[in-house]
Amino acid sequence: MSEVNDLSPERFPCPDDYERLLEELRIMAGREERDLELYTFLIDQVTPQIGLQREDDRFVTNRTVLRTNRDVTRRNLEILEETYRDLTGERIVPIRQRFVLPVSYRAGLERAIMHELRDAEIYRDMILNLPEGMLTQTAFRLFTNTMLNIDRANFLFSRTTI
């Protein structure tokens, strides 16, 4: 750990395999970056609904749901960056995940759901493998954010099958 940071064991108790944790954070940052690209693609695929051009809380549009998922994904990336910086004193260098352009909006939604499900599994395993402390709380926040993204993506997917 960096001597620059004041990392008390109470605040950041780390697992025995500290290097593996740092690698997982870098992998997840890369996955979140790829998902940002995917949500941006999906937002671009949705035709603005006539009469709902401006944001209106009374209407749930596909575009507003996708923007919410993109914003939550961006927040997850920020959390990963902050956590890595707190642990190491350094900036995170994400392990990039390849973005492949989906063939359609529906295929993109399917991919988003599967990406989010895999991310939730990884965050769940982080929670289970970390000692009790701030890192567990951070992993739980990432897990919860991801589960909410899954729910919203499933909502949009159900709209494509009607």
Residue 3 scores a pLDDT above 50: no
Task: For residue 61, give the amino acid letter.
Answer: T
Higher pLDDT, 117 or 48: 117
Cβ atoms of 126 and 38 within 8 Å: the answer is: no
Residue 77's pLDDT is what? 98
Residue 1's pLDDT is what? 38
Q: Whole-angstrom Cα distance, residue 90 to residue 70?
A: 25
Residue 2's pLDDT is what? 40
Tens digit of each residue's pLDDT (9 = 90 or more) over 90-146 = 999 999 989 999 999 999 999 999 999 999 999 999 999 888 778 889 999 999 999
Q: Whole-angstrom Cα distance, residue 73 to residue 71?
A: 5
Residue 112, SS3 per DSSP: helix
Q: Whole-angstrom Cα distance, residue 97 to residue 108?
A: 16
Residue 16's pLDDT is what? 64
All domains in the chain, ordered by first residue: 18-47+57-160 (1.20.1260.10)
33 confidence band (pLDDT: 50, 70, 90): very high
Quote the Cα angle for 49-52-160, to 5°. Answer: 35
Q: What count of other Cβ atoms lies within 10 Å of the Cβ of residue 104?
A: 10
Question: Dihedral (C-alpha) 116, 118, 123, 124: value to the nearest 10 degrees?
Answer: 110
Residue 4's pLDDT is what? 39
Tens digit of each residue's pLDDT (9 = 90 or more) over 55-99 = 556 678 999 999 999 999 999 999 999 999 988 899 999 999 899
Residue 50's pLDDT is what? 54
